[in-house]
Structure 1
Amino acid sequence: MSDTAPIVPEDHGLEPGQDNVQFMGLDIHNPVFAISGVLTVAFVIASLIFREAAAEALGGLRVWLTTTFDWVFMISANVFVLFCLVLIVTPLGNVRIGGKDATADYSYWGWFAMLFAAGMGIGLMFFGVLEPMYHFNNPPLGLAPPVVDGALVPEAVDEARRMGMAATIFHWGLHPWAIYAVVALSLALASYNLGLPLSVRSAFYPIFGESVRGWTGHIIDVLAVFATLFGLATSLGFGASQALAGLNDLYGVPNTDNMKVLLIVGITAVALGSVLAGLDAGVKRLSEINLFLALLLMVFVLVLGPTLTIVTGFFANSADYVMNLPVLANWIGREDDAFIHGWTTFYWAWWISWSPFVGMFIARVSRGRTVREFVTCVLIIPTIASIVWMTTFGGTAITQFLADGYAGVQDTVVAYVPELSLFRMLEPLPLFSITAPLGIIVVILFFVTSSDSGSLVIDTITAGGKVDAPVAQRIFWCTFEGLIAIALLLGGGLAALQAGAIATGFPFAILLLLMTYALFKALRSERQQQQ
């Protein structure tokens, strides 16, 4: 396919579900469903039977990937950010998803609620307090630690606080949302402008043409399924650990592996109900409720916490993030390996493994937006929201430690009990008996919205792009998302969850670089046609 020819699929090209097989009431895309389903079941069974071996293998894989291929993740994430910024300021931003006469299917509020809840909700709850305090104690780039042998080092405090917030925002700002934007925009254009099925393989049509119908497309979709499954399992494992830690802290519920399994099973059952209700009745409604409760919790901390420090900190942290962005994004000549490998590389792999799920979900609800409007909303607005969130929660925890001498969050960092950091931050504030249960509810709802929207996406991929596949298939994938989270938690805990995300994120990073080039070709062709 030449670079100048318009990208128009052949009339006999991809149709949603045209290659599907009807089997026992299922409508599956052969061989994507078969390969993905068999390998998923095999992984769960093997991990549960050989727990110690699985934990050792996953731990070794995580270290090898993060130390050997850190440059792949760093380069990829930087490319996605630069590409998105180019789309905002060039004429390619004028292209409209769905054609020049298309109109938006959802209001801004409903659209933003769905993309944000699916994008990183559990992560914000899990790391929002922990990470700023952790980087404050262990600042990157070789800066001096502000606490030595339990005593503050005054001359190091301010620089560590500023770098701690900048490093946190770096992981939750432009880079993750640029990854999501590239995937979502690629899928949206392929589906709504080229008329291809809403499947990951369709995004590569500008490069591979009709060959995406064959094994090239099958391999792409299978990789997308596994990236999504393990990215989701990581988030679900974090959410279950945090929710159970809160229940143990408040009500004495035993914090055991068996209870984690029961909690994941229970929440997965709730997610199944949302999946069965569908996108508008289930996922959209829960996402809006979830966003409202999360905002309520944030406003509570903003008003009853160190309000002036939070408000001024937003502008200071934003400036620190922008100023430190180039050096944090550069991996050459760095000596802070623990930060790059333990945090940044893991995050980029996690976001990449999430990208098929979040990207396809955002694509489904983004018809009618221009590319400039789409990229701005998906890239800039969530970054601002993340800065507000991290400044409110993380900034409050640091202020409690420095100004009030409260070491509750500090202790969770030193002992590295990340799932308790949110509750330790809320404890000295008023109405702890109300806000702590609210925090648990928000975590659980983020768990549910991630699981149900992820199930819809995986089901769409394994059904050849059909968005109305039989209910039994959605039940299958929702159930095995929970089972993979259980297998990883029991087979190595949080480290195994991280290893799973990194292992599936690495091959998909290479695919996303190809997808970026395909998206550029599709946008250029579409702009010519819409003109």
Structure 2
Amino acid sequence: MNKVKENSVFFVSLLLTLIFIFWGVFFTENLTKVTNAVYNGSIDYLGWVYLGTTLFFVFFSIYLLFSRYGNIRLGRRNDKPDFSTASWLAMLFGAGMGVGIVYWSVAEPVTHFTTPPYGEGYTVEAANTAMKFTFFHWGLHPWAIYTVIGLALAFFQYNKRLPAAISSAFHPILGDKIHGPIGKTIDILSIFATVFGIATSLGLGAMQVTAGMHDIFDMPNTLFVQLLVILVATILFLISINTGLERGIKFLSNAAIICSVAIMLLVLMVGPALTVIKVFFNTTGLYLSDFLQMSLRFTPFGEGEQWIASWTLFYWAWWIAWAPFVGMFIARVSRGRTIKEFVIGVLIVPTLGTCLWMSVFGGTALDLVQGDHSLAKLITQDESLSIFIFFDHLPLSTLLSILGFAVVAIYYITVADTATFVLGMLSEGGTLNPSNKIKMTWGVIQSALAAVLLLAGGLDVLQTASIAAALPFAIIMLVMSYSLLTGLKNETVMQKGNKRNTQQN
């Protein structure tokens, strides 16, 4: 009985997950109706909450970077980072973006080029706008969300010696109630959101891996092959789970970054390198100059509201839905860093890296489709195939496709691996090294959920459901920001007191 009580977060989360799976498989139409109603309602009537909160997280992160709290170390004063800077950046990048930047790096710019948020498509203006909004959707905003939640979790774990749980970040407000029903409810909701967000990504990732196998090896792009991909990937990341954080995830993350840099340099070499460089500088200028306007953009007196809902608000909700998982993992690998180092590493460096990646792939793709509108239509027909269609129109297409497939596959396994690690932490009371048994349980459940919903045709429903849950979590993160600021103020007062006592002695 005591064991069940201790693991109540795990058992309740597992029960809710199984209920949702049952609902999705046997009552798919009803689930679709309910989740669409909740999602559309949140976007239509409370979309401004997403715009306001995400912009706040950007400003709050920048404030922390230059504030008096920048020199506070996450952990004891003499703690050293657990990982080298390169491995640390590789792991947080893989968890934060992973397969997404490969999936959308060609599809999104070309889609915005054909159907821009304003103005006519297939024009020079549309190309510039396409790149500007791609930078916007993958730049400072998502990484600021991860910065805030990751920093809050790391601070309360390492500086206040609290469990590695989402609820710990509310200690200045809730006190010891974080160990009671309120704290457990927060952790259960976090697990619930993480399971479905990751299961959706695994389903989408399986579709892209299958598309790559079809392009390279001429294997059939069918549901059966997608399920087979999930099975093989599950076996691989279950093996990786048993090697631990310092070996498995670290190795996969480093391999993914090396392959990503290799494929980016190769595209730069065989593509229009000068154009790509111009795209990077030009789009960075447009992004920074129009940053506030894009961040607060609505269209109350004209057309375009549907575009904002389908792209910007969808992305902001999606990043927030991913925040518990990504924030928890970033916190786990960031002990020993100062707050200044943390913000630079989680906000600034990944934003620059992502924008450079998007410039290489998006800029090269736009250069191709400007003279071939039929290619643009082909790319936008199926996002999972877009990058492989793009490779087919470049020199060394076979090599590029193989490397691209490798990057997608490695990121796919890395995300699954890191997700099971985080779910294990949350399920076992915030332990920093969860048992392999719990991790493997969640790994199997995630893969089974992705497979079952692919079979039932409910993957879109699952994606909508996970995003619909982002609205309350956006409010939770605002409260978390206040809690973090309170904790940092108390830490500064305590450090000053300790310093004064040391001088007196």
> Which TM-score tier does this pair reach, normalised by the shorter chain?
over 0.9
Find 2:88's aligned residue among 100, 111, 124.
Answer: 111
Cα offsets for 1:34-57 (capped at 9, x unmatched): 110111122223322333443444
Give the equivalent residue in structure 2 for 1:132.
Answer: 109
Q: CA deviation at 1:238?
A: 1.9
2:222 aligned with 1:259, yes or no? no
Find 2:377's aligned residue among 396, 403, 410.
Answer: 410
Q: CA deviation at 1:409?
A: 4.0
Cα offsets for 1:422-480 (capped at 9, x unmatched): 01111121221221122122111111100111101011111001133332111111111
The structure that is helix-richer by fraction is: 2
Answer whether contact 2:332 2:432 (CA < 8 A) is retained.
no
* Structure 2, gaps ≥5 residues long: 497-505
For the residues of structure 1 that align with 2:36 and 2:226, how far apart are their CA atoms?
Answer: 21
For the residues of structure 2 that align with 1:409 and 1:137, how far apart are their CA atoms?
Answer: 7
Question: In 2 relative to 1, CA 494–311 (structure 1 residues): closer, same or farther, beyond 3 Å?
Answer: farther
What are the residue-to-residue correspondences of 1:4-153 with 2, within 5 Å? 21-22=2-3, 29-140=6-117, 143-147=118-122
Give the equivalent residue in structure 2 for 1:244.
Answer: 210
For the residues of structure 2 that align with 1:174 and 1:125, how far apart are their CA atoms?
Answer: 18
Give TM-score scaled by structure 1 length: 0.89
Q: CA deviation at 1:528?
A: 2.4
2:446 aligned with 1:481, yes or no? yes
Residue 79 of structure 2 aligns to a residue in which SS?
Answer: coil
Q: CA deviation at 1:215?
A: 0.8
Give the aligned residue type for 1:207.
Answer: I
What are the residue-to-residue correspondences of 1:182-193 with 2, within 5 Å? 182-193=148-159
Give the equivalent residue in structure 2 for 1:448.
Answer: 413
Question: In 2 relative to 1, CA 65–261 (structure 1 residues): closer, same or farther, beyond 3 Å?
Answer: farther
For the residues of structure 2 that align with 1:231 and 1:276, how far apart are their CA atoms?
Answer: 23
Answer whether contact 2:299 2:305 (CA < 8 A) is retained.
no
For the residues of structure 2 that align with 1:73 and 1:113, how far apart are their CA atoms?
Answer: 28
Cα offsets for 1:221-248 (capped at 9, x unmatched): 0111012112212222221111112222
For the residues of structure 2 that align with 1:115 and 1:29, how far apart are their CA atoms?
Answer: 30
For the residues of structure 2 that align with 1:435 and 1:333, how far apart are their CA atoms?
Answer: 41
Give the aligned residue type for 2:260.
Answer: A
2:498 aligned with 1:530, yes or no? no
Give the equivalent residue in structure 2 for 1:433.
Answer: 398
Give the equivalent residue in structure 2 for 1:293.
Answer: 259
Residue 277 of structure 1 aligns to a residue in which SS?
Answer: coil
2:136 aligned with 1:170, yes or no? yes
Identity within the alignment, %: 39
Q: CA deviation at 1:69?
A: 2.3
Answer whether contact 1:129 1:421 (CA < 8 A) is retained.
yes
Q: CA deviation at 1:183?
A: 0.8
Q: CA deviation at 1:527?
A: 2.1
Give the equivalent residue in structure 2 for 1:152.
Answer: none
Further displaced range: 285-294 or 58-67: 58-67
Cα offsets for 1:9-43 (capped at 9, x unmatched): xxxxxxxxxxx9536xxxx8432111101111222
Cα offsets for 1:129-179 (capped at 9, x unmatched): 000111112222xx21224xxxxxxxxx22211111111111110010011
Answer whether contact 2:144 2:347 (CA < 8 A) is retained.
yes
* Structure 1, gaps ≥5 residues long: 1-19, 148-156
For the residues of structure 1 that align with 2:114 and 2:14, how far apart are their CA atoms?
Answer: 43
Count of residues in correspondence between the two structures: 494
Q: CA deviation at 1:332?
A: 4.1
Give the aligned residue type for 1:137.
Answer: T
Give the aligned residue type for 1:88.
Answer: L
For the residues of structure 1 that align with 2:153 and 2:337, how far apart are their CA atoms?
Answer: 14
Answer whether contact 2:298 2:308 (CA < 8 A) is retained.
no
Answer whether contact 1:52 1:491 (CA < 8 A) is retained.
no
Give the equivalent residue in structure 1 for 2:325.
Answer: 357
Give the equivalent residue in structure 2 for 1:9.
Answer: none
Give the equivalent residue in structure 2 for 1:337.
Answer: 305
Give the equivalent residue in structure 2 for 1:281.
Answer: 247
Find 2:367's aligned residue among 388, 399, 409.
Answer: 399
Cα offsets for 1:466-506 (capped at 9, x unmatched): 13333211111111111222344344455324303312222
Find 1:310's aligned residue among 250, 269, 276.
Answer: 276
Give the equivalent residue in structure 1 for 2:502.
Answer: none
Cα offsets for 1:329-355 (capped at 9, x unmatched): 114445422222111121111111111
Question: In 2 relative to 1, CA 530–489 (structure 1 residues): closer, same or farther, beyond 3 Å?
Answer: farther
What are the residue-to-residue correspondences of 1:366-385 with 2, within 5 Å? 366-385=334-353
Question: In 2 relative to 1, CA 467–92 (structure 1 residues): closer, same or farther, beyond 3 Å?
Answer: closer
What are the residue-to-residue correspondences of 1:496-507 with 2, within 5 Å? 496-507=461-472
For the residues of structure 1 that align with 2:435 and 2:340, how far apart are their CA atoms?
Answer: 36
For the residues of structure 2 that align with 1:367 and 1:94, how far apart are their CA atoms?
Answer: 14
Residue 105 of structure 1 aligns to a residue in which SS?
Answer: coil
Q: CA deviation at 1:282?
A: 0.6
Cα offsets for 1:296-323 (capped at 9, x unmatched): 1111111111100011211111111111
Q: CA deviation at 1:252?
A: 3.1
